[in-house]
Amino acid sequence: MSRVVLIDPGDGLETVRNALREHPEVTVDLADSLPNGAGVVGVLVPPDVPVGEDALAALPDLRIVAATATGFDHLDLAAISAAGAWATHCPGYCTEEVAEHAIAFALDLLRGVTLLDRSVRAGVWDLQEAAPRRVSGAVLGIIGLGRIGREVARRARALEMRVLGFDPVVSPGETDGIELHALETVLARADVVTLHALLMPGQPPLIGAAELAAMRPGAYLINCARAGLVDAAALGAALNSGRLGGCALDVLANEPPNPDEPELCWARTLINPHAAWYSPAAATEPYRRAGEAVADVLHGREPADALARPARAPV
């Protein structure tokens, strides 16, 4: 009997099994790490489980690697293709949730909601601890104008914010009212910068010391995308020096963080536990779509949202 293995701490097992109900010859198991050995035809993996040459060499019957997420920087697409397998992901399953979370962070930072709450609880009754700014007319800089970036822009315009954007692969005719500029210009003009760019394997941080220095004094940075997009040491220095007004992070290099992680001690910093993607609906969607991708491959069909196709016929 063939196996499909879900590597995930979530509760998507029954959703995947339901997607594969027409394949009684396949068992669907839950595991903490990638399996090995013959008989495994599909693996479903979250963003923190890399799939590369070594893992693939231990799975001779593998036909598909399905990421239960939008991001796919944890997948070695060339190696998966060379191993004769498909690779898929789940783009757009939490677009609205992440866009809303980024806007919530922007509003919180501009109005000082959380930072003022902290100060009151510490015994300080002074709005100047995090002086609120007007949201209407504030400039939001969006780095990355894919699905999520555009949804952030749509919500920001509804709040009467001015929206600037940078994306090297987007032409002016595709901006939906977003003012396109070079990265340096967006950083220099924005009151709030929010990151919604992809992170490719081996890519250096998009926002390093030079980019942080280019931002307006007192500006805010939001990262609901990938921790590797930002040079953490440089960000900490910019915050602790007072150069930046604050930041909001939904992603960290180490999740969950150790008690001594520097981010936990940075000044004027909001941190969420990688929650931007979540809603009850979004929690189920990637398992359903990944399960359906596996079912398509087992039926001999091309799966939706394919990132890589087999370079050779499966054995």
Point out the catalytic residue in the list 154, 274, 288, 309: 274
Q: For residues 217 and 174, what is the distance between their CA atoms, to the nearest angstrom?
A: 30
In the annotation, is 274 catalytic?
Answer: yes
In the annotation, is 189 catalytic?
Answer: no
HEC profile of the chain: CEEEEEECCCCCHHHHHHHCCCCCCEEEEEECCCCCCCCEEEEEECCCCCECHHHHHCCCCCCEEEECCCCCCCECHHHHHHCCCEEECCCCCCHHHHHHHHHHHHHHHHHCHHHHHHHHHCCCCCHHHHCCCCCCCCEEEEECCCHHHHHHHHHHHHCCCEEEEECCCCCHHHCCCCEECCHHHHHHHCCEEEECCCCCCCCCCCECHHHHHHCCCCCEEEECCCHHHECHHHHHHHHHCCCCCEEEECCCCCCCCCCCCHHHHCCCEEECCCCCCCCHHHHHHHHHHHHHHHHHHHCCCCCCCEEECCCCCCC
Nearest CA-CA partner of 93 in 75, 113, 118, 66: 66
Point out the catalytic residue in the list 155, 196, 226, 289: 226
In the annotation, is 226 catalytic?
Answer: yes
Point out the catalytic residue in the list 255, 299, 302, 312: 255
Question: Do the beta carbons of residue 43 and residue 35 sit within 8 Å?
Answer: yes
Alpha-carbon torsion (240, 241, 246, 251), positive or negative = negative
CA 190 centroid distance within chain: 22
Report, as residue numbers or ranges, the catalytic residues: 226, 255, 274
